[in-house]
């Protein structure tokens, strides 16, 4: 009888060791998940790793039934494990406000995947898209994100960029340059977009293909034209005086063949005057 008890004890010890090893292995996988996604909100239907999703769900069940081992509970708490299966409401709202601030500055919610200024925000945005795809997004959060024009499909960002690029091309055809001011009243969105391209270029965040497309239309990476210097303005003014002396008016055509630069300069002065009215 004593031998049977010893055998059962040995078997239980072996099984326990196996379970502990399996638990620790899954815990390490969860750590890797958190490192990548900045949270432990693995859904039960997590498609990339179904086993991890089921394991995380079990930990929550053990916690609710108060059968989880204290050591395991301590380890999970040490990495801010989401016991309710949802991100903390306070944390979600904090990140949402950061996204609202991003939109206020950039006029869109297209946070780059590798946004160096706020990597946590980039990861959070990625998580929201994943939650939508996995159908774990609450209706309230879905509505809040929709209310600020959240871009659910990352591909939409490329489509939006290309639409704005075409509007810039149209602007150049009409105005003969790409110097759209940030406060351009006829198309405020275009003005803000052009400003963002310059910022991306200065911060060395401009995508190669986009830089190529902008350079192909002689995009001006500096907001102010070199011709805005006092000396240059004086030179153009004197050319306008000479024109007036010859033609008895200052109605220089925009496509003035004899002096194209004068035509463009006069057109710019008119637009500047119009925008300040």
pLDDT band for 24, please (50, 70, 90 cuts): very high
Q: State the pLDDT at residue 30.
A: 93
The answer to whether residue 182 scores a pLDDT higher than 70 is yes
pTM as predicted: 0.37
Residue-wise DSSP of the chain: -HHHHHHHHHHHHHHHHHHHHHHHHHHHHHHHHHHHHSS----TT-TT-HHHHHHHHHHHHHHHTT-S-HHHHHHHHTTT--TTSS--HHHHHHHHHHHHHHHHHHSS----TT-TT-HHHHHHHHHHHHHHHTT---HHHHHHHHHTT---STHHHHHHHHHHHHHHHHHHHHHSS----TT-TT-HHHHHHHHHHHHHHHTT---HHHHHHHHHTT--SSSS-GGGSHHHHHHHHHHHHHHHHHHSS----TT-TT-HHHHHHHHHHHHHHHHH-
Q: Indicate the average pLDDT of the chain.
A: 81
Residue 11 confidence (pLDDT) above 50 = no
pLDDT tens figures, 118-155: 888 888 888 788 777 767 677 888 899 999 988 887 66
- Give the pLDDT confidence of 242-259 residue by residue, as tens digits: 988 899 999 889 888 888
């Amino acid at each position: 009888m004593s031998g049977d008890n010893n055998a059962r004890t040995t078997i239980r010890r072996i099984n326990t060791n196996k379970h502990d090893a399996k638990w620790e292995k899954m815990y390490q996988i969860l750590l890797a998940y958190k490192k990548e996604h900045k949270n432990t909100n693995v859904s039960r239907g997590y498609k990339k790793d179904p086993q991890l999703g089921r394991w995380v769900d079990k930990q929550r069940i053990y916690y609710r039934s108060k059968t989880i081992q204290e050591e395991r509970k301590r380890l999970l708490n040490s990495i801010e494990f989401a016991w309710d299966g949802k991100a903390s409401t306070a944390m979600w709202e904090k990140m949402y406000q950061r996204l609202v601030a991003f939109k206020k500055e950039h006029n869109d919610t297209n946070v780059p995947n590798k946004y160096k200024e706020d990597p946590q925000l980039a990861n959070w945005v990625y998580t929201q898209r994943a939650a939508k795809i996995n159908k774990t997004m609450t209706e309230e959060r879905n509505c809040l994100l929709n209310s600020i024009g959240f871009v659910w499909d990352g591909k939409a960002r490329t489509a939006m960029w290309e639409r704005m690029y075409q509007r810039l091309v149209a602007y150049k055809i009409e105005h003969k340059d790409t110097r759209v001011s940030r406060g351009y009243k006829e198309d405020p969105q275009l003005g803000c977009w052009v400003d963002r391209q310059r910022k991306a270029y200065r911060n060395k965040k401009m995508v190669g293909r986009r830089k190529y497309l902008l350079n192909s239309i002689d995009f001006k990476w500096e907001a102010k034209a070199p011709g805005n210097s006092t000396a240059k303005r004086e030179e153009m003014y004197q050319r306008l005086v000479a024109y007036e002396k010859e033609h008895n008016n200052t109605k220089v055509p925009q496509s003035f063949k004899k002096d194209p630069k004068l035509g463009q300069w006069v057109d710019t002065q008119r637009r500047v005057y119009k925008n300040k009215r």
